[in-house]
Structure formats: structure tokens, C-alpha cells
């Protein structure tokens, strides 16, 4: 099946640092999504990208849809403790299916 390669797998940073993670695919997709999952919870949508080259912000989060439609990145600026969690990229395959990356686990040292 389709695979999304998400990196890094984990990050250990100091509070206040900026974070960058990315997701690549061998296939073209028309929608890229970024989700965050807190421990014991389901994923929550952070940002949705619908147009190649699009740069979208949601507070301290910024995500870009790559111009080739095969990649996306997510940046978090000035990290705070509540940013801890697992971040997943996802694409919509066909009409229905969400395909997820393996996730990036973010840990923040106070």
C-alpha cells in the first residue's frame, strides 16, 4: 500500500525552540493533512492543505504543501510544554481513505 515517510521519528527539544518535521511520498496527492495525537486520545486535525505550494498557519503552527504535491512540512515556533505529543501527516487516497505517516514523537524539556 501507499507509504508516507515521515521524519524525524522523534525529537527531544528545549522549551522555546522551533520544531520542523516533514513528510514525503512517492505518489502525488491533492490534499495533505497534519494531525496531533495526545496520549490516550484520538488524532486532532491541526492543518489541512488543499493546493500545491500553499503555506497555511494556525497560531504557532505553519505547514506547507510541496509544489511537487509529493511532500509537506510542519513547523512549530517557540515550543511550549503542551506541544508534546505525536504529530502525523496524512493524505487522502481515492475518495475515502486517509493514509497516515508513522508519526513524529515530540518531547520537550522544560
Partner 1 sequence: NAGVTQTPKFRILKIGQSMTLQCTQDMNHNYMYWYRQDPGMGLKLIYYSVGAGITDKGEVPNGYNVSRSTTEDFPLRLELAAPSQTSVYFCASRLAGGERTQYFGPGTRLTVL
Closest to partner 1 by CB, 96 or 109: 96
- 28, 45, 67, 78: which one binds partner 1 (CB under 8 A): 45
- 43, 63, 64, 65: which one binds partner 1 (CB under 8 A): 43
Specify the residue for cell string 515550543: 79
CB atoms within 10 A of CB 20: 13
Cα distance between residue 30 and residue 42, in whole Å: 24
For residues 80 to 99, the per-residue mask of contacts with partner 1, x marking binding by CB under 8 A and - elsewhere, is --------x-x-x---xxxx
Least Å from the CB of residue 94 to partner 1: 11
Does residue 1 belong to the site contacting partner 1 (CB under 8 A)?
Answer: yes
CA dihedral in degrees (25, 101, 49, 86; nearest 10)?
A: -150
Amino acid at each position: 500500500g501507499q507509504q508516507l515517510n515521515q521524519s524525524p521519528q522523534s525529537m527531544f527539544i528545549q522549551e522555546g525552540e522551533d520544531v520542523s518535521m516533514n513528510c514525503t511520498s512517492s505518489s502525488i496527492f491533492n490534499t495533505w493533512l497534519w494531525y496531533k495525537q495526545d496520549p490516550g486520545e484520538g488524532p486532532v486535525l491541526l492543518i489541512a492543505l488543499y493546493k500545491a505550494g500553499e503555506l497555511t498557519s494556525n497560531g504557532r503552527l505553519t505547514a506547507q504543501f510541496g509544489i511537487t504535491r509529493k511532500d509537506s512540512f510542519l513547523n512549530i515556533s517557540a515550543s511550549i510544554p503542551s506541544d508534546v505529543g505525536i504529530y502525523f501527516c496524512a493524505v487522502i487516497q481515492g475518495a475515502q481513505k486517509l493514509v497516515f505517516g508513522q508519526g513524529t514523537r515530540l518531547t520537550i524539556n522544560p
